Structure 1
Amino acid sequence: MTQKTDLRDEEIAIRGAKVHNLKNISVTLPRNKLVVLTGVSGSGKSSLAFDTIYAEGQRRYVESLSAYARQFLEQLSKPDIESITGLSPTISIEQRTTSYNPRSTVGTVTEIYDYLRLLFARVSKPYCWKCEQPIRSQSPQQVVDSILSSPLGTRLSILAPIVRGRKGEYQKELLQLRQRGFVRVRVDGDIHDLSDDITLDKNKKHDISVYIDRLIIKGDLGTLAARISDSVELGLKLGEGMLILETQPSGATAESEPIETLLSEKFACPTCHISYPSPEPRTFSFNSPMGACPECDGLGTKPSPEDLDAEEDTVDSDLNLDAITGENAPCSSCNGARLRKESLHYRLAERNISNLTLLSISELSAFFNALVLTDREQLIANRILKEIKDRCGFLNEVGVGYLSLSRSAQSLSGGESQRIRLATQIGSSLVGVIYVLDEPSIGLHQKDNRKLLNTLKRLRDMGNSVLVVEHDRETIEEADWIVDLGPGAGSQGGELVAEGSLKQLLRSKKSITAKYLNGELEIATPKTRRTWTKANAIRLEKATQNNLKNITIDFPLGVFTCVTGTSGSGKSTLVIDTLYRLLAGHVYRMKTGEIKIAGSRGLELVDKVIDIDQRPIGKTPRSNPATYTGLFSLIRELFASLPDSKVRGYGPGRYSFNVKGGRCEACEGDGVTKVEMHFLPDVFVECDICKGRRYNRDTLEIRYKGKNIADVLDMTGSDAYAFFDAIPSIKAKLKVLNEVGLGYLHLGQSATTLSGGEAQRIKLSKELSRRGTGKTVYILDEPTTGLHFDDVNKLVAILQTLVSQGNTVIVIEHNLDLIKVADYVIDMGPEGGAAGGYVIAKGTPEELALIPESDTGRYLKTVL
């Protein structure tokens, strides 16, 4: 009799999903497959993947735990769905920075640094920080054996150090030694009888050692061994783990100077008399007082006292000040290494732990593969080394091998953070899990993308379901199953357009994704490229910032330039850390910190520079697209100009939810109130008074075309564009917001819910709505993040418009569809990290495609 297979074991069935803009959709996904969710931006992909499947998987897992365990976990609400079957525990790997803690590094996030600390505590060798000589510890038996190995006739004196380089009179200590029966001491190099009157200057530093025993190596060593053992034990006890051995070889005269050796149960330098405690993992932790540099408390930097030259009110609030001013100055004590000098003088293969954290993960992997240890050390370190090598291997597989362990977690892009967590998940070896990923290909060069795909397939083959929100062509084509949502964004999206294998998708007549994949629609390659001369360009000469290798390069003005290259090859260092800082310092007269270049020219040809990055547009839930773009000020002024407002005396401030007057005071304009749950986490619920509308009843009575201010904030950009058709100033801003592909966003949507790509496009829309100068340099870092093929097409049109107005656009990008439309391409490489920092090729996309050394050129051939 054949056993029937329960279909629930083979599929995840979602019925009646209505989260956000999802329109009661039902979809069935195969389990243990690589499933890609695609569709235009705002079509509902994240709503289905993260807010439905992931959220429900998490909620069910948390609910299965005890009440005691649940108090430590976030309480999750049930998504708006009829049912989900075939669901197993879910793990989300999103594009967000792993940590805002300045102490977090790539090493701590991946736990490789924890294993390095353990390794150094077990098998590293200490060196004196003063004279750089190797030092070692000895057990009492080893000290005895060392003494007994001396040649016959050797004269020995065993002393215990009582005081070492400290001020004081020490009469009490000398009296106690005499009372215990000791006869002689050595004070500051001179020998005294304890019965003498020994007077010390309390303001000077002194060294005091007491003589424990004096003997000659001769006769029966067995009898001598017992005596030496007692003397050594007593000496180590009095000297708190240290003793001094004075030796005179056989035949030496009584007047000859004895040879002095410091022996210790601790690590101690015989020359400088400096001792170290026995190493522990926390000895190498910059988060522990035992290891952290006392000067900078383990941060490695000290705040720079220099401030901006410009007056605060003259500086554009949108400027990327972190990029312009550079990092804080390294700590003068540890030089940025974060650790005490003692911790930095433990070495493994001639490198301290800080040296190893400065290596890229690829270099670290090579270091440990070549590391030679003794048999004893190998036995101790075997399991530790396996963990380090495995983790390095996983990180290399996901394309972040160019990162160093010392890299701050705060400085990682969303894509890098996501891939690091992906590598960690591979190392966990979990099976039967649903992994939900958000565009893991972001920030990856095409040649690294293949490694990532292999990693995703490896997760799948381990027995997991891998669900990926993605726009990358190669990832879509490699998927086992594809779900295409649309047809539009926001209220025009949320429907299931197509599902199935790649062949089934390509047969769909409704799918825009299918039309781009089969060539029916495409991002057109320009027939001509803009030309430029060296007289109309910014030149950077001999740039050596970070990993740049003394490069000289021209950035043409008035054209569209793409800077490409493998991950970690130096693109951001060249464009953001060098060019942007240089231009911002010149244009806005700001202090920029050190910029490592020999010279530059052409800066005077630019009167404005704007870095449109992916940092959040606001740090509080009160920030939203309307407030950031200035749109909300115009809307409030419109409402204040209405007859009913004038009758009641309402000004624009009445319509702000940030100040008293028109807002709901029960929730202070938040729309939600916090309910304290005592042993459970606090819960935020819709405000009972305003029902989430943010404003009081009187304010909401004022209407424009039947809509109050809360209704307007709840509109999407595309709906608002039609609604404010008669107001040119508002319509102009909304037109740009729609053009950058963000018509699906609600005007009042909290900034904290926006992705990095959405935040970047909001900034772009704000800049586009300003009056241009014709001499502006726009710098964008991966603007295609989160964009569907169709949205990339719209973005290209916007960027080309900016350039046609005389401005300069410089884009850091991996997307071939955007690279192919550029006028000029600068390709960095050949690899990431220390192996990068060179300009491999430069020219038009067609010229780049003919250069065999350029990896980007090789891939460009396929799309030109």
Structure 2
Amino acid sequence: MSKATRTDTQSPAPRVADSHDLIRVHGARVNNLKDVSVELPKRRLTVFTGVSGSGKSSLVFDTIAAESQRLINETYSAFVQGFMATPARPEVDVLEGLTTAIIVDQQRMGANPRSTVGTATDANAMLRILFSRLGQPHIGPPSAFAFNVPSVRASGAITVERGAKKAVKATYTRTGGMCIRCEGRGTVSDIDLTQLYDDSKSIAEGAFTIPGWKSDSFWTVRLYAESGFLDPDKPIREYTEKEMHDFLHREPSKVKVEGVNLTYEGLIPKIQKSFLAKDKEALQPHIRAFVERAVTFTTCPECDGTRLGEAARSSKIKGISIADACAMQISDLADWVRGLDEPSPGASSGRHSTVAPLLAALRQILDSFVEIGLGYLSLDRPSGTLSGGEAQRVKMIRHLGSALTDVTYVFDEPTIGLHPHDIQRMNDLLLRLRDKGNTVLVVEHKPEVIAIADHIVDLGPGAGTEGGTVCFEGTVEGLRAGGTLTGRHLDDRAALKETVRKPADWLEIRGATANNLRNVDVDIPLGVLCVVTGVAGSGKSSLVHGSIPADAGVVAVDQSPIRGSRRSSPATYTGLLDPIRKAFAKANGVKPALFSANSEGACPTCNGAGVVYTDLAMMADVASTCEECEGKRFQASVLEYRLGGRDISEVLAMPVAEAEEFFGAGEARTPAAQRILARLIDVGLGYLTLGQPLTTLSGGERQRLKLATLPQPSAGGTPRAEKGGVYVLDEPTTGLHLADVRQLLGLLDRLVDSGKSVIVIEHHQAVMAHADWIIDLGPGAGHDGGRIVFEGTPADLVAARSTLTGEHLAAYIGC
């Protein structure tokens, strides 16, 4: 990069002093980075731009942040480090001037049923202390309001004998707030017994319909048949009351089967331990399908879904229980807490005088939720239901009030899921973190965020092997004049279409009340591109995902994780690997199974995983590259077979765009593979490698990968009558560079022109401007939203300017 393209953001000073104000990266070679060298100013806001796959995350997360966290780990004692992951040093020549890095990414929060928005922050803990001090009747310490603490741990007394002496030792009683019935989960599971067995048959006749329970299974079917508690030849429907109890509910009991000591227990607890205690997403597909058929979850009738026992629900402050407080919209809860300046009736002044600092801290954290655009959430919202963007903003909450300075905050597209109206609020938060004396590094595509940067690093020029270099480093003005892809598209503004398509039909929704929807009636047009928009929390997803009838032929293409193992890749998910294996087999006169890392061709040492996992008991598994195959996953003999001069591991390491050319001509020409690769390029995934693990993909990449696997649309047809004729996309521009949005719009047009109906939940103004019809929800979020505030064409929305969306769209197109 020439010196002319750099803009020095530091005032002239001697090199020794200047170096303390810079994070210096020289010779970074992580992933696709090509000896990248940059100097980032500390205590400034630096935005990293570039097309998807250009190397932004490799530089920011996998190099700078990773090395910072590795160095922090090294400050702990060797004993403590033994319990921590030990990542390798990033491949880089020089990394200087690093400070403590705090990563605020889009990774969804764990789906643990006990985790909520309140427990993921400090809000729940503060509320528990507040109610333990001010709640009437006074029921005990803060743990009495905790739904994760059992109501009774132990009670009574035990007698301890020591020789001739006897002593009575009382055990302690620890009271928590957990609902006994649902154990603090808020839901109870009901098992559909008809999915477990056919009661018209006996056990000997094969009554069990549970996957894997075969008649000769020693640990399951034979255990029940030969336990002595049941008659194996009697139809289950003819069991006596005692036999039915022993069959379904008997507590663990020791039995002998063919001389072997085994433990017998009722069918229901056995199923709960065998299937329900495991992560459903980790189950094999047929087992997961069985669980989804056999088990239903309903709101706990004892606590009405609050997770709390009766005592915790009975203690109130000004008529509000802690369950009521957690169920409030956070913006309302913040107002309620502000009204707690005076002692509640009956509360002792001594107890109240100690809660003033607590009230101040609680107000601050609740106000942070509102300020960051999450005031529509409630503290009892399960954390696993948050989107990636919501999860990232919840993680920000804990940092906004931090007294730490000179910290490096690293953000991954913090504007994801935000309406244009909310982006300014996010910008203000980023600037506030900077102004406290912190270094803020942001990976972002939105021009509104790029515009506030003190320093910009633009990577590219392309993606994958065509990226990994610094195309520009300097100011926003320099980027505009620099001629890079980002600079050329920074001021792009989509124009409204001169003509819009006419709906072929309408999908009627009447009386929609899901979540915050206010008895909504709306007609969604079919055969056109319809965009559903509104501020975050206004009810867009509730309307589209929760209200469209199941018989409408909807195909949802969202950003949820793709089911599969850590061996899954774009090649396996799209079916691309099948024609590739067949092409290799035909060219070499051998079986296709040899070219599968999950079958005969797998490296015997790592079983085709490419890495060897070491189980460290209480610590997380450690993965190391397989020394036998050097991470290539295949046996050495398999790598001797070639197609077009490449072995199978080299093909799987190719980016999609390179592979499309490879399979399009010459000896390697494989039309079936080329068609799939062309679809991947069509959705902007030309930079992914064929064998890249799916676990490394972002939400936007996952959605576009799913879009690429949809059947190719046939021309003509009536959208309503065609099975799967309605496509629903959830923010498909997530993670897309400005230059790639136009390509996405072309793909959406082709879908519609082929007879499909496309419904897009989106905030990007370019997509709104390109729509045939817009449905705008609002006017606000949570209980301030849930209404249709506009229906019509983009031109009508701009002309009316009656909503926040209309105002921002009008400003975007320059009206």
Using the alignment, how far apart are the partners of 2:129 and 2:121 within structure 1?
A: 15
Q: 1:679, CA displacement in angstroms? A: 9.5
1:446/1:295 CA distance change after superposition, 3 Å: same
Using the alignment, how far apart are the partners of 1:624 and 1:503 within structure 2?
A: 40
Residue of 614, 619, 630 corresponding to 2:559: 614
- Partner amino acid, structure 2, of 1:512: L
- Partner amino acid, structure 1, of 2:141: E
1:812/1:518 CA distance change after superposition, 3 Å: closer
1:378 aligns with 2:362: no
The match for 1:121 is 132
Residue of 785, 791, 797 corresponding to 1:842: 791
1:807/1:308 CA distance change after superposition, 3 Å: farther
Deviations 1:504-528 (A, max 9, x none): 111102x111111244xx5454221
The match for 1:66 is 77
Using the alignment, how far apart are the partners of 1:403 and 1:69 within structure 2?
A: 37
The match for 2:663 is 724
1:418/1:307 CA distance change after superposition, 3 Å: farther
- 1:105–1:407 contact (8 Å) kept in structure 2: yes
Using the alignment, how far apart are the partners of 1:413 and 1:325 within structure 2?
A: 28
Using the alignment, how far apart are the partners of 1:42 and 1:435 within structure 2?
A: 22
- 1:732–1:769 contact (8 Å) kept in structure 2: no
Aligned with 2:560: secondary structure? coil
- Partner amino acid, structure 1, of 2:485: I
- Partner amino acid, structure 2, of 1:299: R
- Partner amino acid, structure 2, of 1:37: F
Using the alignment, how far apart are the partners of 2:787 and 2:292 within structure 1?
A: 22
1:751 aligns with 2:637: no
- 1:38–1:485 contact (8 Å) kept in structure 2: yes
1:706 aligns with 2:706: no
Using the alignment, how far apart are the partners of 1:555 and 1:308 within structure 2?
A: 39
Using the alignment, how far apart are the partners of 2:141 and 2:61 within structure 1?
A: 42
Q: Which has the larger radius of gyration?
A: 1
1:72/1:300 CA distance change after superposition, 3 Å: same
The match for 1:639 is 584
Q: 1:321, CA displacement in angstroms? A: 13
- 1:37–1:468 contact (8 Å) kept in structure 2: yes
- 1:635–1:730 contact (8 Å) kept in structure 2: yes
- 2:186–2:300 contact (8 Å) kept in structure 1: yes
Structure 1, gaps ≥5 residues long: 127-135, 137-277, 587-602
TM-score normalized by structure 2?
0.79
Equivalence map 1:193-272=2 (5 Å): none
Q: 1:323, CA displacement in angstroms? A: 13
Equivalence map 1:131-210=2 (5 Å): none
Equivalence map 1:183-582=2 (5 Å): 278-290=139-151, 291-303=177-189, 305=191, 328-374=297-343, 375-509=349-483, 511-519=484-492, 523=494, 525-532=496-503, 536-579=505-548, 582=549
Structure 2, gaps ≥5 residues long: 1-12, 152-176, 196-208, 212-284, 344-348
Q: 1:849, CA displacement in angstroms? A: 1.5
1:654 aligns with 2:597: no
Q: 1:307, CA displacement in angstroms? A: 11
Aligned with 1:863: secondary structure? helix
- Partner amino acid, structure 2, of 1:574: L
The match for 1:272 is none
Using the alignment, how far apart are the partners of 2:748 and 2:341 within structure 1?
A: 55
- 2:146–2:308 contact (8 Å) kept in structure 1: yes
- Partner amino acid, structure 1, of 2:598: N
Deviations 1:415-435 (A, max 9, x none): 111111112111222211111
Deviations 1:600-648 (A, max 9, x none): xxx4xxxx32100111223421111111111112212222333431xxx
Q: 1:795, CA displacement in angstroms? A: 0.7
The match for 1:739 is 682
The match for 1:154 is none
1:325/1:716 CA distance change after superposition, 3 Å: farther
Using the alignment, how far apart are the partners of 2:510 and 2:335 within structure 1?
A: 33
Using the alignment, how far apart are the partners of 1:441 and 1:28 within structure 2?
A: 25
Deviations 1:25-80 (A, max 9, x none): 11111110111001111111101110111011111111222212212322121111
- 2:393–2:414 contact (8 Å) kept in structure 1: yes
- Partner amino acid, structure 2, of 1:382: A
The match for 1:16 is 27
Using the alignment, how far apart are the partners of 1:503 and 1:82 within structure 2?
A: 31
Aligned with 1:746: secondary structure? coil
- Partner amino acid, structure 2, of 1:655: F
Using the alignment, how far apart are the partners of 2:705 and 2:304 within structure 1?
A: 39
Deviations 1:692-745 (A, max 9, x none): 111112222221112122111111101110111021111010001011111111
The match for 2:205 is none
Residue of 36, 40, 44 corresponding to 2:55: 44
Aligned with 1:328: secondary structure? strand
The match for 2:602 is 663
Deviations 1:105-133 (A, max 9, x none): 0000012011111111111012xxxxxxx
The match for 2:752 is 803
1:50/1:439 CA distance change after superposition, 3 Å: same
- 1:323–1:576 contact (8 Å) kept in structure 2: no
Using the alignment, how far apart are the partners of 2:49 and 2:33 within structure 1?
A: 14
The match for 2:628 is 689
CA RMSD across the alignment:
2.7
Aligned with 2:391: secondary structure? helix
- Partner amino acid, structure 1, of 2:44: K
Q: 1:349, CA displacement in angstroms? A: 1.2
- 1:75–1:681 contact (8 Å) kept in structure 2: no
The match for 1:858 is 807
- Partner amino acid, structure 1, of 2:497: P
Using the alignment, how far apart are the partners of 1:668 and 1:713 within structure 2?
A: 17
Residue of 772, 782, 803 corresponding to 1:823: 772
Using the alignment, how far apart are the partners of 2:294 and 2:557 within structure 1?
A: 17
- Partner amino acid, structure 2, of 1:371: L
1:327/1:577 CA distance change after superposition, 3 Å: farther
Q: 1:395, CA displacement in angstroms? A: 1.8
Aligned with 2:589: secondary structure? helix
Please identify, of 613-622 and 107-116, the stretch whose mean Cα deviation from structure 2 is larger.
613-622
Aligned with 2:532: secondary structure? strand
Using the alignment, how far apart are the partners of 1:344 and 1:326 within structure 2?
A: 29
1:414/1:321 CA distance change after superposition, 3 Å: farther
- Partner amino acid, structure 1, of 2:624: V
- 2:490–2:738 contact (8 Å) kept in structure 1: no
- Partner amino acid, structure 2, of 1:48: L
1:378/1:500 CA distance change after superposition, 3 Å: same
- 1:700–1:708 contact (8 Å) kept in structure 2: yes
Using the alignment, how far apart are the partners of 1:723 and 1:703 within structure 2?
A: 13
- Partner amino acid, structure 2, of 1:286: F
Residue of 704, 707, 710 corresponding to 1:764: 707
Using the alignment, how far apart are the partners of 1:732 and 1:492 within structure 2?
A: 22
Deviations 1:203-236 (A, max 9, x none): xxxxxxxxxxxxxxxxxxxxxxxxxxxxxxxxxx
- Partner amino acid, structure 1, of 2:768: I
Q: 1:12, CA displacement in angstroms? A: 1.1
Pairs aligned (count):
674
Please identify, of 796-805 and 666-675, the stretch whose mean Cα deviation from structure 2 is larger.
666-675
The match for 1:250 is none
- Partner amino acid, structure 2, of 1:656: S
- 2:328–2:379 contact (8 Å) kept in structure 1: yes
Q: 1:832, CA displacement in angstroms? A: 0.8
- 1:106–1:408 contact (8 Å) kept in structure 2: yes
